[in-house]
A and B are shown apart, each in its own frame.
Chain A
Amino acid sequence: MERNIETATAQPPSVPRLPVMPLDLDWVASVQANTSAIERRCATLPGRRSVKKEYQAAWLLKAISLMDLTTLSGDDTQNRVRRLCAKARQPVRADLLAALDMKGLTTGAICVYHDMIETAVDALKGTDIPVAAVSTGFPAGLSPLHLRIAEIRESVAAGAHEIDIVISRRHVLSGNWQALYYEMKAFREACGDAHVKAILATGELGSLRNVARASLVCMMAGADFIKTSTGKESVNATLPVSLVMIRAIREFHERTGYMVGYKPAGGISKAKDALVYLALIKDELGTRWLQPDLFRFGASSLLGDIERQLEHHITGAYSASYRHAMG
């Protein structure tokens, strides 16, 4: 979808949407992921990449623009969602943004359950902030397939621009790649023009190799984004899992020419961590991926820490959370 941040001087050209492709099982089977080597790369990355001063401020603002501001709680109400949407419109205190000479900064999207889509769409009227809905029996994904597909259709009809689906972990754990492929393909088709993010629930896939294979299968089946977690697993986004998924995206791009997006979700709550993620994306995938059409943070508490860091950058004094508006 078209984005229109006022500050944007040169929006990169939009990338063509990938089609559904045939399942290539040989490719899937050939995937390797060496856990200890991947962990070493991730452990040394923060020591290799550092952004300071105005660069850090710019990178943190970028992180906000890439954020799917999320509420996925049983006690969500319409007013709670409206509050969050207001925060998405104005994620950073106006005086701070002015000091940085940034205008019109918003978060990347709002992410809610189906029942809150209409509320969110309404609350975000007049902006370009898309509404993403988690779907397909989120978070376990164990409701009947036809109901999961129907849920997608209803969410799209309700105005969701993006659908975050959950895959059936059992297909990965039992090595039934065909089943995973057909499930994903059905979800993609149900989405129509809405973009689909495939949540792999990596914390439940058992191994990094499985994460890599599931990533590939979902991309072959037309996932616009691959996403780590629901936020409800005991282990959510980690750097090693991210490295495996973005290397799969890179490989997919090298072989097919299509660029797929990435969304780590859950567990990223510090500004410092966000910077490491951005560096990882920049180094492993390239700077083009640092745009909201190809990268999102799924996060609820990250924004607060970034706001404090931005105020510190401007004033030189460490900030307090109550100085920033809550969502």
Chain B
Amino acid sequence: MNVKEIFETMDYGPAPESAAEALTWLVDQGSRFGHFINGEFTAPADGFDSKNPATGEVLATLSQATQDDVDTAVAAARTAQPKWEKLGGPGRAKYLYALARLLQKHSRLFAVLETLDNGKPIRESRDIDIPLAQRHFSYHAGMAQLMESELPDAQALGVCGQIIPWNFPLLMLAWKVAPAIAMGNTVVLKPAEYTSLTALLFADICRQAGLPKGVVNILTGDGAVGEMITTAEVDKIAFTGSTSVGKRIRQATAGSGKALTLELGGKSPYIVFDDADLDSAVEGLVDAIWFNQGQVCCAGSRLLVQESIAERFHAKLRARMDKLRIGNPLDKCIDVGAVVDPIQLNTIQGLVAANTAGTTHHAQIPMPKGGCFYPPTLIEGLAPSDTLMQEEIFGPVLVSCTFRTPAEAVELANNTRYGLAATVWSENINLALDIAPKLVAGVVWINGTNMFDAAAGFGGKRESGFGREGGWEGLAAYTKTKVKSKQLNQIAPFSGAGAPTDPLDRTAKLYIGGKQARPDSGYSRNVYGPKGALLGQVGLANRKDVRNAVEAAVGARAWSKTTGHLRAQILYYIAENLSARADEFANRINAMTGKAQGADEVETSIQRLFTAAAWADKYDGQVHGVPLRGVALAMKEPTGTIGILSADEAPLLGFMSAMAPALAMGNRVVIAASDPYPLAATDFYQVLETSDVPAGVVNILTGSHAEMATPLASHLNLDAIWSFSSTDLSADIEAASAGNLKRSWVNNNQAMDWMSDHSKRFLQEAVEIKNIWVPYGE
């Protein structure tokens, strides 16, 4: 068209960003890449092609890492780690800052390369991915600088294996690498096989920054390489990707002692109330589900609209969709680029084709010829029971459903296995701030969506994984508390044939839902003292008792909504009542263990209760300073319902050290008493009953830890499992926890010094951090 014609049609023309520099860079590297190990690129080996999904053309040939490569990389990281950690926070900060600056200096090269490799619009890689990656390095340069002063008890984990997805290749690298190396870890990272190029460019940047050899190692390859890293001698695995692979990693690392964080899939709700700014909420959907072609783990893919505005809203939405522009990702005038790979395109097509429910609207827009393109799509009028309301599509496909009331909106929103993110649109601050805490999600955006920053933690609940990335909360994923570990040996119960010390039978039952309940099995066992005296009997809980106890705990949800002040009062009351019977408990402990620790244990238990009560109304969240006119509220919420296998060796103190902080933070618990010494816990029933603890908040089981571990760990309605048992159950528990990806905290057969105060650590495990973004402005 000539100028005169365009003057009439007022069409947008092509506005391509040049690919020349990025293509030149690839050619300069020989268009073939090895791995980046110990500060050097290895010779290119057999491997696979990396393609541009918009055109299908081959960009470079990459090497498939072998077991040898993985071993070499892990060894390099292992060798480099102590020196890197010893360099100190300020020393490491300089390197992180240099990496941030280099990312900035080469920002356009990174952006164009990312778009060529991944298919995302150049606007996104240029304005979002690359600047955020820079921000993560500069933010964590600051964290390295502050580590010694602000986290004096923290130390590096060691070598971290990191496996990242293809949807935000460089950004996910930054999320993983920056906090890890800031805290003194070294890393072995595997980018996704579709999108490894910016990671290799980053390796080049590491050399330019003079980063010590072995601190960052990058291996390319497919899932098989990921598996090799998972089973290698690393201290931590950090994974972002699909829920199914996340579960496999949970099982593969079970009992290995490797720290694990998983950032997995989602089907995040996008709730529009009738008082919302509808036009802005429609525009928000463009950023929610058509951002990065919908290939975003936290994409607002499940639209929930209030019935009264549903028709109008959908009409506006369809009109907006028909104005989206899809095409050459390097074009600066498009909204939607290419799906990452033909395989992903097939998956999307298959899922949409299999759906027969609702009304489907494909955006009425010109589609590019060839390449992996899928039109923006809306499927309205679905019900929660429709597959597409539950399954993650990971493409530009939005599904929608209506709701009648705010309460129903919350119910629908939470009717999912996932819990990553949520969006709420309302002009009513009362409504928005009431709904946000009720949504099961790690991140909630109010009147906006897909807002990210290094200062605010990101991560999920339920099958969206566990752990946070970003913010102070994200550092926990790359540090551990400085403690000396000691092997824990299994404590066997004493045996005997003695007569009861007291002829009057006082056999405690199980404590479920505020009442004593007979064990389902109908079996009990004798508890003997060290000299064979029969001290009492306890019921043997089985899987049905576990089920009943969890049900009672789940039912006691009102506890999680009580105030910290109230929970503190109740914890003080428990301490008071325990103190009144201190001698009795001390004698009981001594009689069971044959040691003289009883009095100390009781006194320290009372201290734990006081400490937990003290924290109940003080373990505050934070307001993160994100670059936005608004706030990101990092709210601490109870983890939920927690299953706990108590420490065997300290029958009262181990129990109390876990129970008190859990209760203080608003959790409900199912606690298995010390396996060999259960009677302190059963004596404790009466203390609970006289201390105003609501029924179901604390449920106590007795019997074999080995028997209870698997039903607890595999229970799909428990949110976390902790084990301090002297029976070596860590592997079983972590493997079984993969079912719903509950958070697990197990002792890996290491002893804990219960006389030391670990309350802070317990508090950390007892809460989930939810970041609620609240932009404002009139």
Contacts and interface: CB of A to CB of B under 8 A. Distances in A.
A32 B427 contact: yes
A172 to B, nearest CB: 15
B428 to A, nearest CB: 10
A61 B630 contact: no
A67 interface: no
Given A37-B280, A101-B3, A287-B10, 4 more contacts: A9-B5, A36-B776, A58-B3, A278-B10
A170 interface: no
B275 A32 contact: yes
The size class of the interface chain A forms with chain B is 35 or more
Interface stretch (A43-51, A185-193, A264-272): A43-51
Contact of A54 (B3, B280, B427): B3
A283 B448 CA distance: 20
Given A7-B7, A48-B333, A59-B6, A36 B12 contact: no
B3 A37 contact: no
A204 to B, nearest CB: 15
Interface in B1-60: 1-15
B12 A55 contact: yes
A36 B630 contact: yes
A282 B284 CA distance: 19
B333 A36 contact: no
Interface in A259-307: 278-279, 282-283, 287, 290
A245 to B, nearest CB: 12
B283 interface: yes
Closest 7 CB pairs of A and B: A55-B13, A58-B6, A37-B280, A34-B277, A36-B775, A50-B332, A50-B15
Contacts of A131: none
Contact of B283 (A41, A47, A57): A41
B287 to A, nearest CB: 8
Interface in A1-25: 7-10
A207 interface: yes
B127 interface: yes
Interface in B606-637: 629-630
A34 B775 CA distance: 10
A58 B11 CA distance: 10
Nearest to A40: B448
B97 to A, nearest CB: 27
A102 B4 CA distance: 6
Nearest to B274: A30
Given A36-B777, A283-B323, A53 B7 contact: no
A102 B7 contact: yes
A171 interface: no
B160 to A, nearest CB: 34
A191 to B, nearest CB: 29
Contacts of A82: none
Contact of A101 (B4, B425, B447): B4
Given A36-B629, A37-B280, A58-B3, A52 B127 contact: no
B278 interface: yes
Q: Which of A10, A50, A65 has the most CB of B within 10 A?
A: A50
B277 A37 contact: yes
Nearest to A35: B777
17 contacts: A32-B277, A34-B447, A35-B778, A36-B629, A36-B630, A40-B775, A41-B283, A48-B123, A48-B333, A54-B2, A55-B15, A58-B4, A100-B3, A101-B2, A101-B3, A207-B778, A208-B778
Contacts of B775: 36-37, 40
Contacts of B488: none
Given A34-B280, A102-B3, A51 B776 contact: no
Nearest to B279: A247
A38 interface: yes
B341 interface: no
Contact of A52 (B14, B281, B425): B14
Contacts of B281: 37
B275 A10 contact: no
Contact of A7 (B4, B284, B427): B4
B10 A290 contact: yes
Nearest to B451: A40
Interface in B275-333: 275-281, 283-284, 323, 332-333
A54 B13 contact: yes
B6 A10 contact: no
B130 to A, nearest CB: 13
Contacts of B13: 51-55
Contacts of B6: 54-55, 58-59
B11 A47 contact: no
Contacts of A44: 123, 127
Contacts of B3: 54, 57-58, 61, 100-102
Contacts of B335: 48
A76 interface: no
A278 B7 CA distance: 12
Nearest to A278: B10
Contacts of B9: 287
Q: Which of B10, B126, B425, B448 has the most CB of A within 10 A?
A: B10
A47 B127 contact: yes
Nearest to B332: A50
Contact of A282 (B2, B10, B776): B10
B11 A36 contact: no
B7 A58 contact: yes
A169 interface: no
A62 interface: yes
Contacts of A61: 3, 7
A32 B7 contact: no
Q: Which of A7, A59, A65 has the most CB of B within 10 A?
A: A59
A94 B558 CA distance: 79
Q: Which of B5, B12, B123, B278 has the most CB of A within 10 A?
A: B12
A59 to B, nearest CB: 7
A59 B3 CA distance: 9
B57 to A, nearest CB: 23
Contacts of B777: 35-36, 39
A72 interface: no
A93 B448 CA distance: 47
Contacts of B447: 34, 36-37
A49 B448 contact: no
A33 interface: yes
Interface string A103-147: 000000000000000000000000000000000000000000000
Nearest to A281: B10
Contacts of A54: 1-3, 6, 13
B10 A52 contact: no
Contacts of B276: 32, 34
A33 B279 CA distance: 8
Contact of B12 (A34, A51, A57): A51
A39 to B, nearest CB: 7
Interface in B227-286: 275-281, 283-284
B4 A49 contact: no
A133 B639 CA distance: 67
A258 B4 CA distance: 29
Interface in A165-193: none
B333 A51 contact: yes
Given A54-B2, A61-B3, A38 B280 contact: yes
Contacts of A51: 12-13, 15, 333
B284 to A, nearest CB: 7
B283 A37 contact: yes
Interface string B762-778: 00000000000001111
A286 to B, nearest CB: 8
A65 B6 CA distance: 14
A32 B278 contact: yes
B333 A49 contact: yes
A50 B333 contact: yes
A279 B10 CA distance: 10
B436 to A, nearest CB: 16
